Amino acid sequence: MTDLVTATEAALEGELPGARGELSHGVLNALRAPAGAPLPDPGSAERADPLGDDLQLALYVSYELHYRGFAEVDPAWEWDPALLAVRAAMERRFLHALRDRTAGHPDVHDALDELLVEPVDGTGVSYFLRDEGQLWHLREYAAMRSLYHLKEADPHAWVIPRLHGRAKAAFVAVEFDEFGGGRAERVHARLFADLMADLGLDPSYGRYLDAAPAEMLSNVNLMSLLGLHRAHRGALVGHFATVEVTSSPGSRRLAEAMRRTGAGPAAEHFYAEHVTADAVHEQIVRRDVIGGLLADEPSLASDVAFGIAATTCLEDRLGDRLMAAWQDGSTSLRAPL
């Protein structure tokens, strides 16, 4: 039986981050006390910028309680009614901002068609990294993305009980691949930890939370928001499809960047694996997950399209942040590595 116990217990939880304003300060302070301690008034969410650091960090922290949580934070906070009330106020602001920014988005068929066109002369982060990225850019990129990739595919797992039949079977098949097809060493989160080690980064869970700007937090918060609410199951599927459809060509460019800079075999492998894996996933997601969901619930078509538009909007925002910093020769993180 001793082989069931690992010799060294790696920390599963992250550390609480530093506050970025009044709202996150209030939430973080409360979390250091047992569940039930006084929280900021939900009205304070009304005063914060919906896509800014303060609200996005407070939201990120309240969602993280549903994943691995934080070291020395009372697990009962996860379902604390007062925290859920503050969270709901933040979610309303966040969703409202996303609806504003994606108003007039195309319908689901046009949105998918758009995603499936490869630009002739593409610009953006993956092109920059492929053509002129240096090791420090790749390290910043990986530190930033680690907020998601160290829990890759976890936010999406919440939608499983809300899908049925064809959509569910196909969705779970893709998730099974994301989770390594039954092999711990192939879990995508593990492959990303190996990439981080190649790049000389610390793969501890949550290590780069303090370094990540609002543009990255909002990306992960979108997945958590859509995953945790059954009402947003259509948008979650749209989000998932966007990630899978755009991943293959982007991953090819990132694999080339890793190879050119000599980042290391695991760093290259993470993206090379995503080139072929996601070429499969995108077809299954479009045909069976979206197709199956909309056959069951045709009224969710506009939610799926919103999920695609919101994901694209936040990804573009993150890309703008990265490129603006790098073209200036400065760090894209809140503090350099």
Positions in the binding site for other proteins (CB under 8 A): 114, 116-120, 173, 176-177, 181, 248-249, 252, 272, 275-280, 282-284
Sign for the pseudo-dihedral over CA of 331, 332, 334, 337: negative
Two structure tokens written together for 141 = 């990129």
Nearer to other proteins, 39 or 174 (CB): 174
Nearer to other proteins, 114 or 320 (CB): 114
- Which among 165, 181, 174 is positioned nearest to 281, based on CA atoms? 174
CB of 208: closest distance to other proteins in angstroms?
A: 30
Q: Which residues have C-beta within 8 Å of that of residue 147, sequence separation ≥ 6?
A: 208, 209, 212, 216, 217, 219, 220
CB of 233: closest distance to other proteins in angstroms?
A: 23
Q: Between the CA of residue 33 and those of 57, 84, 119, 218, what are the distances in Å?
A: 18, 16, 51, 26
Nearer to other proteins, 174 or 201 (CB): 174
> CA-to-CA distance for 26 and 91, rounded, in angstroms?
17
Nearer to other proteins, 42 or 124 (CB): 124
Nearer to other proteins, 82 or 173 (CB): 173
CB of 39: closest distance to other proteins in angstroms?
A: 43
CB of 24: closest distance to other proteins in angstroms?
A: 36
Q: Between the CA of residue 140 and those of 31, 113, 199, 247, 334, what are the distances in Å?
A: 29, 31, 10, 19, 11
CB of 245: closest distance to other proteins in angstroms?
A: 9
CB of 74: closest distance to other proteins in angstroms?
A: 40
Task: Provide the angle, in degrees to the nearest 10, between the axes of the packed helices 265-284 and 233-260.
Answer: 150
Nearer to other proteins, 3 or 121 (CB): 121
Element (H, E) at 316: helix 301-327
Q: Provide the 10 A C-beta neighbour count for residue 226.
A: 28
> CA-to-CA distance for 269 and 286, rounded, in angstroms?
25
Q: Which residues have C-beta within 8 Å of that of residue 28, sequence separation ≥ 6?
A: 16, 17, 18, 19, 58, 61
CB of 3: closest distance to other proteins in angstroms?
A: 25
Two structure tokens written together for 57 = 């960090």
Q: Which residues have C-beta within 8 Å of that of residue 11, sequence separation ≥ 6?
A: 71, 204, 205
Exposure string over 58-78, b if 16+ CB within 10 A, otherwise e: bbbbbbbbebbbbeebbeebb
Nearer to other proteins, 150 or 285 (CB): 285
Nearer to other proteins, 122 or 165 (CB): 122
CB of 111: closest distance to other proteins in angstroms?
A: 11
